[in-house]
Amino acid sequence: MAGSALRRLMAEYKQLTINPPEGILAGPVDEENFFEWEALITGPEGTCWDGGVFPAKVIFPADYPLSPPKMKFMCDMFHPNVYADGRVCISILHAPGEDPTGYESRSERWSPVQSVEKILLSVVSLLAEPNDESPANVDAAKLWRENRNEFEKRAIRLVRSTLGLPPPDC
């Protein structure tokens, strides 16, 4: 199984290097281990995350693409769909099949037709448009809903932090 997973990951990496999505760099940490990737995700233009560069890790299971990878931001992140420890909570990364909570449809969850590129693009979209109905970070979701201005100020501080800049004068 790991052999076919490795071939698939190598092919996806090749595709990402030939035609990288705008604002995303991703690839294996080293060529000895294609099952652990690093990614740099640029915050979507026109959002409170604009200009930020967010490092993340993507860990692939031995049976990839039958099972989804796990993704975690390696910087501070305050977002409704990111746990306090940086783990990304998004439907595309949830195991295939029926959702035990009944919230997600089968089509929203992982399937082997997904790819690293689709995952990363989904995360960029999630930054721009959080799903506050099923939050991983309840405090972030509450602030997003009830005080968007304060949420955006907090996001801008994180953006500046990712760039090594001091917080803005607010």
Which residues, other chains included, contact 9 with Cβ-Cβ below 8 Å and sequence gap of 6+? 28, 34, 35, 60, 64, 116
Cis check: omega of the bond before 65, within 30 degrees of 0: yes
* Torsional sign, CA 95, 66, 107, 56: positive
89 is catalytic: yes
What 129-134 contacts at long range (C-beta under 8 Å, 24+ apart), as own/partner pairs, is 130/79, 130/80, 130/81, 131/80, 131/81, 131/90, 132/80, 134/81, 134/89, 134/103
From 48, 75, 89, 170, the catalytic residue = 89
Active-site residues: which are they? 89
